[in-house]
């Protein structure tokens, strides 16, 4: 192990190859790109959330000195519409604007100041239309778009949904809109190529998706659209949709010059997708032992003006409402709908944080109603391998729900006061009003793409004189694939040095860097290519030495015969290059409701315990400690794994306590980091991280994705701890100071079918007769809601 650690192989804390340059400020991010003769692109955006465009006049803008092109929808040579799941969004507004910030025109000029003046000189007459900003009204309102207002309606049931135990707990939960808040705003540089095509270096998450959508807009075939990854400063799902890519390429083709875009922070908030805000109603019924008898749930997500991934996110939210628990009887339904609010799409967790916040609040309420320990209730209902999900899929891989829960419970509780009193370094809280709370949560997160989406990746690996080169289209957005790829090449090939080349579209697609999938998909493709290269190397050595290749192995950079050193990998075949290209595709999945019943490739499980201090008068919260135990398959890089868990926890803590895109009348009112608050290092708590290592079947080294579960669990666990400290229901996140100080929020409704226990501990319990129980979302259009597709 010591020697392997020196080589930086799998299982070691190998350092990131791009780490030193980033620490020293020498790394080239997309915003640092430049080219000779470069023009600067600027976007003119709608000030209205909903309006009809009655006139656009670009003559004054075109006449300005230094302006090389001004483009509107009429200038798009290819298909005007694009989108990740539905092609419902225009590249430039097509006569109607449907959200505040929608691109109307783009300009290329000699510098940013001239481009800005030209954009302001474009004359646009709008006829404002009523803005539909309430997602519930959208279900029955006049269509905002020819495709209708419902992106997707999901509905299914299992067992006997009307089955009841002795106690029923129900409540309605609300989740705010969260921004990915990556630190480097969108940027890219496009230029025309000699073959009549176009190339672009851009900070993105999915090169081939960009290539496809650029091709639609420009009318170019894929082979004439070359996309390369530029340096990415964070993503978290916000770079999965196309933003500036098509605009930059259209302007480059129109001007014959390189064109660069770099958004401001405010423009970045307007341009990219946020996490879906939503409303979730849940009703759990249980027997006296705490066993869940049935679950009913309804979800309404606001998808905003254009579809992006809304049809997929709603399915994740609804199908994972059961949480990591056995549920034999259930009824589930959900909608994602169109409004004139900002468009929402992919963000770390992809619909699961919303579900997790709601189902974990329900488990705590159920435990309180029964007078049981919250962890014991969870253990009592924990999924096990062999159980069947409410949507019919069997859990046929390790399902360590009990293990992660018991692992996190075993971590000692912190002693003594918090590092910072509630209120931060200003210490605005007084000790006499501070209460400590402890909460638990456990979650399930699907890994990789689902519902029949082809989930694949391709890798090309070469080896020459001990130096390996790895080429994929996998976008490195900070998750650490560049390190994993190096570790695999060192372990399998014994390579002394490894170079991971710039990802581009000259190799087949690696899919998106999202869904906790790239180690599984691209990592496995690299592993397979390395094995093929190693076999070719050993075949060559065997022939030269008159040996059977089956006798040869590679360990720590040395080729061994029958376990004895024969030669080094670097010296085995001087000057000869061995090369292989291999492909990986996950097992097939199928849409919800199909007879095959396999929607998801696999799952990850995570448990956390949060300890918080809360000033109950001021409503201020300090997170003291979060203990985490996560199902990780195997540990590939301990340092990177810890980084993913710590980062995910802090980002989830942000959604729980402070992060919210505030939208008023369809307009974002806090599009900057002064008013949109994110946790800093001062807010970050002590994080104690432990793991369950149960190898994932079918994966090299048993690895699995780990990037999203920490965030999914952090949201409900912080909320649970604040509830424990305050005694308040707190059914909405982010939990704001006024929610605590003023005691806002409706408590769960608890109904007993047998005499209630003498002393239930549920805070804010309301006991109602059966006939008094009403469906909290009964107005959610039982009729008239239809799928968009």
Confidence at residue 596, expressed as pLDDT on a 0 to 100 scale: 87
pLDDT digits (tens, 9 = 90+) for 258-283: 999 999 999 999 999 999 999 999 99
Confidence at residue 421, expressed as pLDDT on a 0 to 100 scale: 85
- Kindly report the CA angle at 584 between 581 and 586, in degrees rounded to 5? 175
Element (H, E) at 146: none
> Residue 41, Cβ neighbours under 10 Å: how many?
28
CA 278 to CA 177: how far, in whole Å?
8
pLDDT digits (tens, 9 = 90+) for 724-769: 999 999 999 999 999 999 999 999 999 998 777 655 544 433 333 3
User: What's the Cα-to-Cα distance from 510 to each of 250, 459, 711, rounded to whole Å?
Assistant: 25, 8, 24
* DSSP letters spanning 82-116: E-SSS--EESS--SEE-STT-EEEEEEESSHHHHH
User: 102 and 94 in contact (C-beta within 8 Å)?
Assistant: no
CA 372 to CA 21: how far, in whole Å?
53
User: 649 and 626 in contact (C-beta within 8 Å)?
Assistant: yes
Write the CB contacts of 226 (distance below 8 Å, at least 6 apart in sequence).
193, 197, 198, 199, 200, 211, 504, 505, 506
pLDDT digits (tens, 9 = 90+) for 608-666: 999 999 999 999 999 999 999 999 999 999 999 999 999 999 999 999 999 999 999 99
pLDDT digits (tens, 9 = 90+) for 412-459: 999 877 778 898 776 778 888 999 999 999 999 999 999 999 999 999
Q: Is the pLDDT of residue 5 over 60?
A: no
Give the β-pairing of 749-752 and 167-175. antiparallel
Residues of CATH 3.30.365.10 domain(s) within the chain? Answer: 456-585
Q: How far is CA 676 from the centre of its chain?
A: 19
Q: For 264-283, b where at least 16 C-beta lie within 10 A, e where not — what string?
A: eeebbbbbbbbbbbbbbbbb
Give the β-pairing of 103-109 and 732-733. unpaired
Mean pLDDT, rounded, for 688-713:
97
Write the CB contacts of 572 (distance below 8 Å, at least 6 apart in sequence).
537, 540, 541, 559
Q: Is the pLDDT of residue 543 over 60?
A: yes
Element (H, E) at 525: helix 518-545
Confidence at residue 758, expressed as pLDDT on a 0 to 100 scale: 59
Q: Which two tokens stand for residue 306?
A: 């254009």
- Three-state SS sequence of 551-603: HEEEECCEEEECCEEEEECCCCCCCCEEEEEEEEECCCCCCCCCCCCCCEEEE
Confidence at residue 215, expressed as pLDDT on a 0 to 100 scale: 98
CA 417 to CA 430: how far, in whole Å?
13
Give the pLDDT band (50/70/90) at residue 552.
very high
Confidence at residue 206, expressed as pLDDT on a 0 to 100 scale: 98
Determine the CATH number of domain 30-131+182-271: 3.90.1170.50
CA 149 to CA 142: how far, in whole Å?
8
Confidence at residue 762, expressed as pLDDT on a 0 to 100 scale: 41
CA 194 to CA 217: how far, in whole Å?
19
User: What's the Cα-to-Cα distance from 462 to each of 88, 473, 491, 543, 612, rounded to whole Å?
Assistant: 42, 16, 15, 20, 51
Write the CB contacts of 660 (distance below 8 Å, at least 6 apart in sequence).
176, 177, 178, 676, 734
Supply the mean pLDDT for the chain.
94
Confidence at residue 757, expressed as pLDDT on a 0 to 100 scale: 64
pLDDT digits (tens, 9 = 90+) for 131-164: 999 999 999 999 999 999 999 999 999 999 999 9
Confidence at residue 23, expressed as pLDDT on a 0 to 100 scale: 95
Q: Which two tokens stand for residue 560?
A: 């061994």
pLDDT digits (tens, 9 = 90+) for 7-29: 699 999 999 999 999 999 999 99
CA 202 to CA 258: how far, in whole Å?
13
Q: Is the pLDDT of residue 781 over 60?
A: no
Residues linked to residue 578 through DSSP beta bridges, in sequence order: 463
Residues of CATH 3.90.1170.50 domain(s) within the chain? Answer: 30-131+182-271
Backbone angles phi, psi at 628, to 5 degrees: -130, 140
* DSSP letters spanning 373-438: -HHHHHHHHB--TT-B-TTS-B--S---HHHHHHHHHTSPPP-S--SS-TTGGG--S-GGGEEEEE
Architecture of domain 456-585: 2-Layer Sandwich (3.30)
- Evaluate the CA torsion angle 375, 379, 381, 382 in order and state its sign: positive
pLDDT digits (tens, 9 = 90+) for 216-257: 999 999 999 999 999 999 999 999 999 999 999 999 999 999
The pTM assigned to this predicted structure is 0.94
Report the percentage of the chain scoring pLDDT > 90.
91
pLDDT digits (tens, 9 = 90+) for 460-486: 999 999 999 999 999 999 999 999 999
- Evaluate the CA torsion angle 207, 212, 217, 219 in order and state its sign: positive
């Amino acid at each position: 192990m010591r020697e392997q650690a020196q080589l930086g192989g799998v299982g070691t804390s190998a350092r990131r190859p791009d780490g030193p340059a980033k620490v020293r400020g020498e790394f080239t991010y997309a915003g640092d790109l430049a080219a000779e003769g470069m023009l600067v692109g600027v976007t003119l955006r709608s000030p209205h959330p909903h309006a009809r465009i009655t006139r656009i006049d670009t003559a004054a803008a075109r006449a300005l000195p230094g302006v090389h092109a001004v483009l509107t929808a009429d200038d798009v040579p290819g298909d005007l519409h694009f989108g990740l799941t539905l092609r419902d969004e225009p590249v430039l507004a097509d006569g109607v604007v449907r959200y505040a910030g929608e691109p109307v025109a783009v300009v290329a000029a000699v510098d940013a100041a001239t481009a800005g003046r030209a954009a302001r000189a474009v004359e646009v007459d709008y006829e404002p239309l009523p803005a539909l900003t309430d997602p519930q009204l959208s279900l029955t309102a006049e269509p905002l778009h020819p495709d209708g207002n419902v992106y997707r309606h999901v509905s299914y049931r299992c067992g006997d949904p009307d089955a009841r135990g002795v106690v029923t707990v129900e409540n309605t939960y609300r989740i705010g809109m969260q921004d990915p808040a990556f630190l480097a705003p969108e940027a890219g540089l496009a230029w025309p190529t000699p073959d009549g095509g176009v190339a672009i270096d851009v900070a993105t998450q999915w090169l081939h998706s960009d290539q496809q959508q650029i091709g639609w807009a420009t009318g170019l075939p894929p082979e004439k659209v070359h996309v390369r990854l530029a340096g990415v400063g964070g993503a978290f799902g916000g770079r999965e949709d196309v933003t500036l890519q098509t605009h930059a390429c259209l302007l480059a083709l129109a001007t014959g010059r390189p064109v660069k875009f770099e958004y401001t922070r405010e423009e970045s908030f307007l341009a990219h997708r946020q996490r879906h805000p939503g409303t979730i109603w849940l009703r759990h019924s249980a027997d006296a032992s705490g066993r869940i008898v049935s679950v009913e749930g309804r979800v309404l997500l606001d998808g905003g003006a254009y579809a992006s991934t809304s049809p997929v996110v709603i399915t994740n939210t609804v199908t994972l409402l059961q949480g990591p628990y056995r549920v034999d009887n259930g009824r589930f339904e959900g909608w994602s709908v169109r409004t004139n609010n900002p468009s929402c799409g992919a963000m770390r967790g992809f619909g699961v944080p919303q579900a997790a916040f709601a189902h974990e609040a329900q488990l705590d309420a159920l435990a309180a109603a029964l007078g049981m320990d919250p962890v014991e209730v969870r253990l009592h209902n924990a999924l096990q391998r062999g159980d069947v999900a409410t949507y019919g899929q069997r859990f046929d891989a390790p399902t360590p729900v009990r293990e992660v829960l018991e692992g996190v419970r075993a971590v000692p509780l912190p002693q003594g006061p918090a590092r910072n009193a509630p209120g931060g370094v200003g210490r605005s809280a007084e000790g006499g009003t501070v209460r400590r709370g402890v909460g638990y949560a456990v979650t399930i997160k699907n890994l990789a793409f689902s519902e029949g989406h082809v989930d694949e990746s391709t890798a090309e690996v070469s080896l020459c004189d001990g130096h390996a080169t790895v080429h994929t289209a996998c976008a490195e957005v900070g998750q650490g694939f560049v390190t994993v790829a190096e570790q695999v090449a060192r372990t399998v090939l014994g390579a002394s040095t490894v170079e991971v080349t710039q990802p581009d579209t000259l190799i087949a697609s690696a899919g998106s860097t999202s869904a906790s999938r790239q180690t599984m998909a691209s990592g496995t493709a690299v592993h397979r290519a390395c094995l093929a290269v190693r076999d070719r190397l050993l075949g060559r050595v065997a022939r030269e030495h008159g040996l059977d290749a089956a006798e040869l192995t590679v360990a720590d950079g040395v080729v061994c015969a029958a376990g004895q050193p024969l030669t080094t990998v670097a010296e085995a075949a001087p000057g000869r290059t061995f090369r292989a290209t291999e492909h990986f595709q996950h097992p097939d999945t199928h849409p919800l409701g199909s007879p095959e019943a396999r929607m998801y490739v696999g799952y990850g499980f995570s448990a956390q315990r949060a300890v918080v201090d809360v000033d109950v008068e001021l409503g201020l919260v300090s997170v003291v400690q979060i203990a985490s135990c996560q199902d990780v398959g195997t540990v590939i890089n301990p340092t990177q794994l810890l980084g993913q868990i710590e980062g995910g926890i802090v980002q989830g803590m942000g959604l729980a306590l402070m992060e919210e895109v505030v939208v008023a009348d369809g307009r974002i009112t806090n599009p900057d980091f002064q008013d949109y608050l994110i946790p800093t290092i001062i807010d970050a708590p002590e994080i104690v991280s432990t793991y369950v290592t149960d190898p994932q079947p079918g994966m090299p080294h048993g690895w699995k994705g780990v990037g999203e579960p920490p965030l999914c669990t952090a949201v409900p666990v912080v909320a649970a701890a604040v509830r424990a400290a305050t005694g308040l229901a707190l059914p909405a996140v982010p939990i704001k100071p006024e929610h605590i100080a003023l005691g806002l929020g409706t408590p769960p409704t608890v109904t007993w079918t047998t005499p209630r226990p003498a002393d239930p501990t549920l805070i804010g319990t309301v006991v109602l007769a059966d006939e008094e129980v009403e469906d909290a979302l009964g107005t959610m259009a039982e009729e008239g809601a239809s799928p968009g597709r």
